Amino acid sequence: MINHKSASLSWKVVAGFWLLLVLLATLFQIRFLSVNGIHHDLTATRPKVVYEDVVAQATDRLSYLHDYRTIFMVGFPVSHAQDFESYVARINAKWSPPKPLESIQWEALDINDSLSYYRSISKSLMSMRDQLDAVNTTDEELLAKGVASLTTVGNNGYIAKVDDPLGFFARWVQKRIPKSTILTTGETLKLYADNYVWAMSFSQAPNDLKGVNPLAFIRSVEDLREIVQEINPEAQVLVRGQPYTSAVIATQNIHDLLAVLIILLIFFGFLAQRWTKSNVLPVLMLLCTVVGLIGAGCASIVFFKEFTLWTLTLGVSFVGICFMNVAYVSFIHHRHPTVSAQKCLEMALPVLCWITLIECISFGVIWFVPIPVWQEFSVFMISAVISCHITLIVCYPLSRIASDQQSFRNERIDHIGRYWPRLSLKRWQKTPFDVLGYTMITLFVISTGFYLLEADQARTQPTEIPLSLQLDSARVEQMLMLPSTQRFFMVSSGSVQETLMNEEALRMGFVQRRFSNMTTTCVSKWLPSNERADHVKKIREELFYRIQKPLNDILGYDIKPNMNTQPPINFDQWYNSNSSGPVRHLWLGEHHGRYSSIVQVAGISEPMIPQLKALGDALSGVIFIDTIETQNLALNDSRFFITGIYLLLVVTSITLSLFHYGLDSWRIVFPPLGGSLGMIAILSWFKIPFSLTSAIALVVVYGVGMSISLAYQTNRDYGAKNTILLFFSAVATLASFGIIGLVDAPFTKCFGLNCTVGILLTCCITFLFRQATQQNDKADWNPRD
C-alpha cells in the first residue's frame, strides 16, 4: 500500500519539476519564434526526392529561382506611358519590397557589353530555324532576305549590313534579346505588353523564407496597390512568386487558425462543462492541452530547427485527443467514486498507456511520409500526446477532485442508447431479413465506393491557391515567357564540346518536331559548339555566293563576302565573361568526368509532355527531368507504403488484441477497421480520390478509433453510462478533426474531412456492436416498433 502522504509530497516535487521544465520550454519557444518567426514556406509541403548528384544540382539551381524569386509588376495603360518614369519614381519613393527580400540589381547588366563578344564571332552564329531552312531556300527567297532590309522600313541592324547582308546575325540576336523589354538602370525594368507598359522589379527571398513575415508581406503588397491606385486608377499590380503565394496562404491560415482556436476554446469549455460538475477538471484539460502543445512545439524546434505554421494547423486535432484522454481518467474516477485520485490513476493507467501507445504508433507511422510537413506533424503529435500523458499522470493526483464532483451533468445521454440500433446474434435470429437487408445495403455502398475509387490519382493539390493568384501568375508567365523550372532537359557527355553538340541536337529536335509554342534556353543557344560554328560559317558563305551576283545587280555596286578574320570560339573565355551572364547558371560543369548542362523550356503544356519525354529518349546524353512527375511517383510510392503499414498495424493489433481480450477483441478492432475502410468508400462516392493524405488519414483514424473503441470496450461492464464516454470522445475528436477541415492550409481540408468521416463511422460502428446491457436488452430497439 502506498503511503499517501509521502506519495503526495513526491508527486508535488515531480509535478513542480515537470512544470518548471514546461516553463523553460515555453521561454525557449518564445525566444525561438521571436527570432526566427514561424515557418510558412510552401516548399515544406512538397515531397523530398533524392536525386543523383548532377540532377540534384540542377534542381537546386532552378528551384532556387522557382521557390524564392518574386516578380512585382505595375502596369500603366500605354496612353499614360509618357508619365511612366515619374510614376516609377513616385512608387520607389513611397514603397520598397518587404524585408528581408532583396532587390535584384540590373544596373550592371549592359546588353552591349555582353553582345560585344557575339558581334566578334558573328560569322559563326545563325538561328537553328535559319540553318534548317537554308537547305530548302530558293535563290529568290535568299535574295529577298538580302533585299528586305534595304527596301522595307524598320529593320534593325546590329552589325554593318555588308557584314551580314542576309540578316542571319540580326535574326540570331532578335531571338535572344528580351522581347520588347527595355532595361533601365537600377532595379526597374520596362515591358510593353497587353496594351500596358509595365514596371518590373525582381526580388530574392532568403532560403526557407527565413525572417519573412507573411502578414508584413501581404501588407506591403496592399500598400503598393494603394499607392499605384492613387497614382493612376487604371493601373494594375501583379505579383508572382512562391514567397508571395506562401504569404497569401499563410496569412489566410493565420486568420483561420485564430478563429479556430477561439471556437475550440469556447466549444471545449462548453464540452468540459457538460462533462463534469467539477471546476478543476476543465482546468486540468486546458493545462494538459497547453502543455501538450508546448512540448510539441519544442520537439519540432529541436528536431527540425523550425516551427511550421502548417504543422500547427494540423496539430489542432490534438485538442480532441487530449480531451478524450483526460475524460477517460475522469470516467474511471466516476466509476469508482470512493477511491482517491491517485488510486484512480493507478486503475486507469494500463489502458491509458495502451491508448497513448496506439496513438503514438499511428502518428509515428506518418514519419515515413517523405514530406517535411507530415514528418513534423508526426513528431508534433507524438510529443503532444506524450506531454499530455505525463501532465495528466503528474497533475491528476494533485487535482484533489472530490468524488461527488465526478458525477456527470449529462446523465441522460445514456438514453440515446435506447434509440440506437444494436446488432447482435439475438437480433439476427429475431429479424433475419431486416439484418440481411441492412447488411446488403451497407455492403453495396462500400463495394460501390471502392469500385468508384480513383486510385490512380496520386496527388491532390496540397493547398488551394486562390484563383486570382493563379490567373496573375499565368499572366506574368505568358507576358515574360518564363521557362519552366520544374520540367527541363539535362544534357551530359564526356566533353564540353560534345555537351554543346547534344544541346544543339536537342534544339534541332524542337525545330524538326515543330514545337513552335515552346522555346528553349540553354548554353548552346548563346555559344555554338565548334563543329556547328564551322558549319554555320560554311553555310553562310555558300548562301552568300548563291545570291552575290543578283544582289549586286540590284544594289548597283559590289558587296563582297565578309573577309574580316574573327577569333576562334573559346568556351572558357566566354564562360568567364559578361557574355555568358544570361545562361551561366545553366552550365553544371564537370562531375566524375562528365560535363552537364540544363536546357530550360518555356511554354510547356501538359499534352506536350509525352512528346518532350520521347524527344529526350531519342537523343543520347539527353534526359527529360520532370520533377513534378517524380514527386508524384514518390507520393504514389509513399501512399502504397503507408497503406501497407496500415495493413501491418491492423494485423498486429488483431493479434495483440486476441492475446489480451480473446474472442471479444473483434469489438475493439473491427470498429476502427470498418470506420477507416468505410471512410475511403464513402468519400469516393463524393469523388474524393485515394490520395496520400487519405492513406495518412487511414492510419490516424485507425489509431484514434482504436483508442476510442478500447476506452469504450474496457468499461463495457459499466452499463449504459459507458455511452457518455463514447459520446464525448466522439464529439471531441470529431470537432477537432472536423474544424481543421475548414481551415485553408495545405493538406488540412482533405485530412480533416477524411478523419472526421472515419472517426464518425468508427464511433457509429462501436455503438452498433456494443455489448448487451440490462437497459438496451430491455429496449432492444426494433425499427418497426
Partner 1 sequence: MLLKKTFFLRCLFVVLIALMGTAYASVASDITRLATTDRVVRGTFKQSQYLLNVNKPFESTGNFIFWRNKAMLWRTLEPIRTTTVYNNQELSVYLYINGERIEQQANATTSLINRLLWNLMAGNVDVLSLDFQVLSKFDSTGWEFVLYPNSSVTNLLIKRMTVRGNSFAEEITVEYFSGDITLLELENVTFSDKSTSLEEAELDKP
User: Which residues contact partner 1 (rule: CB under 8 A)?
Assistant: 78-79, 81-82, 84-85, 109-112, 115, 140-141, 143-145, 147-148, 150-163, 173-174, 177-184, 190, 192, 197, 554-557, 559
CA angle 660, 661, 666 (to 5 degrees): 125
Residue with Cβ nearer partner 1 (423 or 511):
511
Q: Which three cell numbers stand for residue 493?
A: 557527355
Q: Which residues contact 563 (CB under 8 A, 6 or more apart)?
A: none
Closest CA to 499 of 523, 518, 517, 483: 523
- Residue 314 · residue 751 · CB < 8 Å: yes
- The upper half-sphere exposure of residue 163, i.e. CA atoms within 13 Å in the direction of its Cβ, equals 17
Closest CA to 526 of 477, 599, 590: 599
Residue with Cβ nearer partner 1 (198 or 374):
198
Task: Report d(CA 584, CA 576) in Å as an integer.
Answer: 9
Task: Report d(CA 568, CA 451) in Å as an integer.
Answer: 67
Task: Report d(CA 592, CA 224) in Å as an integer.
Answer: 49
Residue with Cβ nearer partner 1 (183 or 682):
183
Closest approach of Cβ 79 to partner 1, in Å? Answer: 8
Task: Report d(CA 321, CA 352) in Å as an integer.
Answer: 12
Task: Report d(CA 136, CA 59) in Å as an integer.
Answer: 40
Residue with Cβ nearer partner 1 (139 or 664):
139
Q: Where are the alpha helices (DSSP H) in 565-716?
A: 571-575, 609-618, 627-661, 666-685, 692-713
Closest approach of Cβ 118 to partner 1, in Å? Answer: 11
Closest approach of Cβ 82 to partner 1, in Å? Answer: 4
Residue with Cβ nearer partner 1 (36 or 578):
578
Residue with Cβ nearer partner 1 (128 or 688):
128
Distance from chain centroid for Cα 24:
33
Residue with Cβ nearer partner 1 (134 or 688):
134
Closest approach of Cβ 43 to partner 1, in Å? Answer: 34
Residue with Cβ nearer partner 1 (92 or 403):
92
Closest approach of Cβ 80 to partner 1, in Å? Answer: 9
Closest approach of Cβ 88 to partner 1, in Å? Answer: 11
**Helix %, strand %, coil % of the chain (to 5):** 70, 10, 25
Closest approach of Cβ 30 to partner 1, in Å? Answer: 47
Residue with Cβ nearer partner 1 (194 or 477):
194
Residue with Cβ nearer partner 1 (104 or 177):
177
Read off φ and ψ for residue 486, nearest 5 degrees: -110, -20
Look at strands 236-240 and 587-591 and give their pairing. unpaired
Closest approach of Cβ 591 to partner 1, in Å? Answer: 35
Q: Please, which residues bridge with residue 39 across strands?
A: 308
Residue with Cβ nearer partner 1 (147 or 654):
147
Closest approach of Cβ 193 to partner 1, in Å? Answer: 9
Neighbours of 98 (CB within 10 A): 24
Read off φ and ψ for residue 602, nearest 5 degrees: -105, 145
Task: Report d(CA 130, CA 145) in Å as an integer.
Answer: 11
Closest approach of Cβ 554 to partner 1, in Å? Answer: 6
CA angle 388, 334, 261 (to 5 degrees): 40
CA dihedral 269, 271, 275, 281 (to 10 degrees): -30
Task: Report d(CA 506, CA 599) in Å as an integer.
Answer: 9
Closest approach of Cβ 181 to partner 1, in Å? Answer: 7
Closest approach of Cβ 171 to partner 1, in Å? Answer: 9
Residue with Cβ nearer partner 1 (144 or 455):
144
Task: Report d(CA 369, CA 367) in Å as an integer.
Answer: 5
CA angle 708, 395, 706 (to 5 degrees): 10
